Amino acid sequence: MNPNNSPRVRFAPSPTGYLHVGGARTALFNWLFARHFNGTFILRIEDTDFERSSEAMVDGILEGMRWIGLNWDEGPFFQSQRLSLYQQTAEKLVASRHAYYCFCTKEKLEQRRAQATAAGRPPMYDRRCRSIAPETAAARKSAGEAAAVRFSVPDGGSTAFDDAVFGRVEFANAEIEDFVLLRSDGIPTYHLSVVADDIDMRLTHIIRGADHISNTPKQVLQYRALGAELPVFAHVPLILGPDKTRLSKRHGATSVIAYKDMGIVPEAFRNFLALLGWSPGPGHKDREIFSSDDLIQLFNLDGISKSNAVFDNDKLAWFNTEYIRAYDPERLLPLIQDEWKAAEFTPSRSTGEILAAIDLLKPRARSLKDFATSFRAYFSDDFEYDPAAVTKFLSDPALPVLLEELAARYAAAPEFSEASAEQTLRDFAAEKNIKAGALINGSRVALTGQAVAPSLFAVMAALGKDRVVSRLCAVSKAPTSG
């Protein structure tokens, strides 16, 4: 409504890795917040660490964002292309005496740090360059001496901020070192670039991981020195692995794209992620399934919890089955087609047959992958028999003959429907004095290659008479003992 009041938020990943689960959740929260309040969601790439950043990672992050369905309104902006803003900001801070040139070399600093730790002293910068007269420093600098710019942290007192999630957080200034704003090569550190950009981009709310809480006072100090209005900080608890340590590669998949590759429905992933560290409140405690629109409508900062959350693969898997089941076959089809493409599988059925088969199979699907693996027999004649299934239900030597005979019945039958197929089979079983179950289970494996499938007669109807007949006969011709 009022453009001046609408919030502006951002997701600011650094392209030193793919989009991981934690980053994705941060992005999601920002996106939900922006959408809920009709605000602006900005994507900013923090690539000021040239050593570790790469373009490929940027692409990976964008791909991840798109997969979860998080569209941004502005950007992506690249900090590497905004260097002059940071340099100007640093100069401004130096000019106002809030920052100073530091001529200590990286090697020297490391050395002193090592000494300090060895001596049991806190390894903070000793501020020695702070006492160099500004004129002297400027002269040395213009003479060509390499200099970093450090922020001049106030001597006493403390710096506090009111976090929307954690409440008031306070740090003694004595605990904050004179951090580097601008490296000696003119590239800004994170501390400077975030603040300069957040101010420049007129961000109103900073929603980010709780690992930034300790950095926040350094930023608050800069806002004040720059005379800028403080945004609202909202720190989000971290996502941990099952062993409650920080989620990392060693916990398995941590890249968002890995979940796509596992056959997860993007909306299921989003739903799962939204509920990690956030809850819609007591009015919705009996509900777990929330569409994107639901989430947008319900999302607010108050629902964010303070404690870290453990990533539970089982629960994600459950969300996935729920979404697959709830989606119409038409909606599932493009997702499944992606799987087929990835598996280099080409279905040989009409769209109508495909859609019907998807509808039949989806209650039993654990992931989209199933449609390209264990469900292949429904979409093509190019499929394999699961050895375990063959052993379990097709090992009786009498079966192949019986199934062939049954096939003949089907071939000769005037009609072929779910009901008639069942009738034919049961009559046949009674006639032969064998248990219908044995025939049904054997047929299931013969028709689908799997021990698990929907109701056999529904499967038969989906496959059609001709395929049922030929697959039933194929058992005796090509014994597929596993």
Mark 234-260 as b/e (b = at least 16 C-beta within 10 Å). bbbbbbbbeeeeebeeebebbbbbebb
Rounded CA separation 304/232 (Å): 14
Q: Does 112 bind RNA (CB under 7 A)?
A: no
- Residues of this chain, 398-437, that bind RNA according to CB under 7 A: 422, 436-437
Rounded CA separation 449/443 (Å): 9
> 2 or 170: whose CB is closer to RNA?
170
Spell out the residues 6+ positions from residue 6 whose beta carbon is closer than 8 angstroms to its own. Answer: 37, 38, 39, 40
Q: Does 449 bind RNA (CB under 7 A)?
A: no
- Strands (E) across 144-264 are located at 148-151, 158-163, 167-172, 180-182, 205-209, 232-236, 239-240
> 6 or 384: whose CB is closer to RNA?
384
Q: Does 254 bind RNA (CB under 7 A)?
A: no
Q: How many residues bind RNA (CB under 7 A)?
A: 95
Rounded CA separation 119/346 (Å): 68
CB atoms < 10 A from the CB of 192, how many?
Answer: 28
Q: Does 172 bind RNA (CB under 7 A)?
A: yes
Q: Does 211 bind RNA (CB under 7 A)?
A: yes
Q: Does 309 bind RNA (CB under 7 A)?
A: yes
Rounded to the nearest 5 degrees, what angle is found at the Cα of 264, between the Cα atoms of 263 and 267?
Answer: 145
How many CA atoms are closer than 13 Å to the CA of 321, on its beta-carbon side? 10
- Residues of this chain, 137-156, that bind RNA according to CB under 7 A: 146, 148
Tell me the per-residue interface mask from 221 to 240 with RNA, x by CB under 7 A, - otherwise: ----------------xx-x
Tell me the per-residue interface mask from 18 to 47 with RNA, x by CB under 7 A, - otherwise: ----------------------------x-
Q: Does 276 bind RNA (CB under 7 A)?
A: yes
> 444 or 465: whose CB is closer to RNA?
444
The dihedral over CA atoms of 299, 302, 306, 308, expressed in degrees to the nearest 10, equals: -10
- Residues of this chain, 174-193, that bind RNA according to CB under 7 A: 175, 177, 179-180, 183-185, 187-191, 193
Instruction: Examine the residue annotation and report whether 249 is marked as an active-site residue of this protein.
Output: yes
Provide, rounded to whole angstroms, the least separation between the CB of residue 6 and RNA: 26
> 244 or 350: whose CB is closer to RNA?
244
Of positions 82, 127, 130, 364, contacts RNA by CB under 7 A: 364
Looking at 48-56, 259-267, 346-354, 395-403, which segment touches RNA (CB under 7 A)?
Answer: 48-56
Of 340, 44, 377, 330, which is closest to residue 202 (Cα–Cα)? Answer: 44
Q: Does 250 bind RNA (CB under 7 A)?
A: no
With contact defined as beta carbons under 8 Å apart, do 257 and 64 qualify?
yes
Of 21, 34, 56, 51, which is closest to residue 201 (Cα–Cα)? Answer: 34
Q: Does 48 bind RNA (CB under 7 A)?
A: yes
Q: Does 52 bind RNA (CB under 7 A)?
A: yes
Could you list the active site residues?
Answer: 249
